[in-house]
Amino acid sequence: MFRKYHPKPGARPGTLLITPDAVETRIRYVKYSSAACESGSVDSVDQLPQPLISDEVIWIDLQGFKDESSLQEIAERFAIHPLAMEDVVNVPQRSKAEQYDDQTLIIARLVSIPNDKELNLTQLGIIVGTNYVLTFEDKYSDRLDPVRSRIENPSSRLRASGAGYLAYAILDTAVDTVYPVLEHLGEQLESLERDVIEDPRPALLQKVNLIRNRLVNVRRAIWPQRDAVQELLISDHDVINDEIKIFLRDTYDHCVQSAEVVEMYREMASGLLNTYMSSVAHRSNEVMKVLTIMSSIFVPMTFVAGIYGMNFENMPELSYSWSYPLVWGTMIVMAFGMMTFFYKRGWIQIADLRALAGEREQQNAAPISIKTESAGHRTRVLEHDQTPAVVPRRAA
């Protein structure tokens, strides 16, 4: 989460930092009212349309920050505060919500794991005005396409609402992007849980640590979003009115819910680490137990063999014809006596006797039932081959 690039110390507040890996700037827009909808893409800010009537709303989506001149033109056209512009361009920033005169700045996160590779935490900057919404992303993304599809539907609430409801819809979509990621991580945890119990290998430890690191990064991304939504709920901006705040309360519930699921999965990952270490220690103890039993059985026989292996000439037993079978019989009786003694004391079980005989007993892990309940979300009762199913409430 630390910046790879940052403004030089002493730089003027509001300085935009264009990184060497910035992608080409792409500008798209959607202009709509209850009666009509127009969308498209433009090459420059000058080609963007402007709202002509009072009930029209325009949404400008700018992706890629390579063209600094386009960023400056957007800032001038909509009179964006330099500090707000700095927050949306100089990524990453902590998720937050701030008020600038007649505009509201919202910083959120789009979470994804494309093709089960690296965890992507894309910053989404949202600036809300009276009849416009501006969104900023440093990379190309299609995560907001569902909102565009809703706008194209003439009967949708978005078409009959203002810029505040559009900002809510975009923010709610960003918050909900974490659910597929959490479901994916939960499935991985369930798979690792079975492997850790049945066959703990060093490679599993690396996988568990990878999931733990991903959960930590997800937590860092979504935890501040809860505070940002709460800040919007107590704001007094005209665009974010009381009607919009009713829907924002549902978004806040989603933030709390996802944060609780992340914490639950982190505890599960920590539990898997403990289970792994316990399984490895248990197997080591079983090996040492078998070796100790074998050593204990052979110690008396070694003692007898040592006595009669001494090179003394005057050993009466050596002249007897039955000495050799007697020693063998004594050793066998001592071995069975030791095993019987261990078994009676509970130090050795039938499975240990089979292990001593070279047999391997296959044991099936018992199902593990987990029932988790918490305020804001629920999970179904789990068996060993199931994953927590997060059931989010449907946004209005």
- Which domains does the chain possess? 1-176 (3.30.460.20)
pLDDT for the residue numbered 124: 95
State the average pLDDT over residues 167-190. 93
pLDDT for the residue numbered 29: 95
Q: Residue 68 pLDDT > 50, yes or no?
A: yes
pLDDT tens for 212-224 read 999 999 999 889 9
Q: Is 323 exposed, middle or buried (0-12, 13-18, 19+ CB in 10 A)?
A: middle
Q: What is the CA radius of gyration of the chain?
A: 34
Tell me which of 310 and 14 has the higher pLDDT. Answer: 310
Q: Is 188 exposed, middle or buried (0-12, 13-18, 19+ CB in 10 A)?
A: buried
Q: Which two tokens stand for residue 276?
A: 């792994």
pLDDT tens for 109-129 read 999 988 777 888 899 999 999
Per-residue DSSP letter, 380? P
pLDDT tens for 150-160 read 999 999 999 98
Tell me which of 396 and 68 has the higher pLDDT. Answer: 68
pLDDT tens for 311-364 read 777 777 777 788 888 888 888 888 888 888 888 887 777 665 565 555 444 444
Give the strand pairing for 132-137 and 373-374: unpaired
**Opening angle at CA 175, ends 172 and 179, nearest 5:** 120
Angle between helices 68-77 and 82-89 (to 10 degrees): 140
Q: Residue 3 pLDDT > 60, yes or no?
A: no
Answer for the pair 372, 362: CB distance below 8 angstroms, yes or no.
no
Q: Residue 78 pLDDT > 70, yes or no?
A: yes
Tell me which of 79 and 238 has the higher pLDDT. Answer: 79
Query: Longest Cα pair distance anywhere in the chain, in angstroms?
Result: 123
pLDDT for the residue numbered 16: 83
**From CA 100, how far away is CA 85, in angstroms rounded?**
11
pLDDT for the residue numbered 182: 93
pLDDT for the residue numbered 297: 83
Q: Closest Cα to residue 1, out of 171, 99, 119? A: 119
Q: What percent of the chain has pLDDT over 90?
A: 37
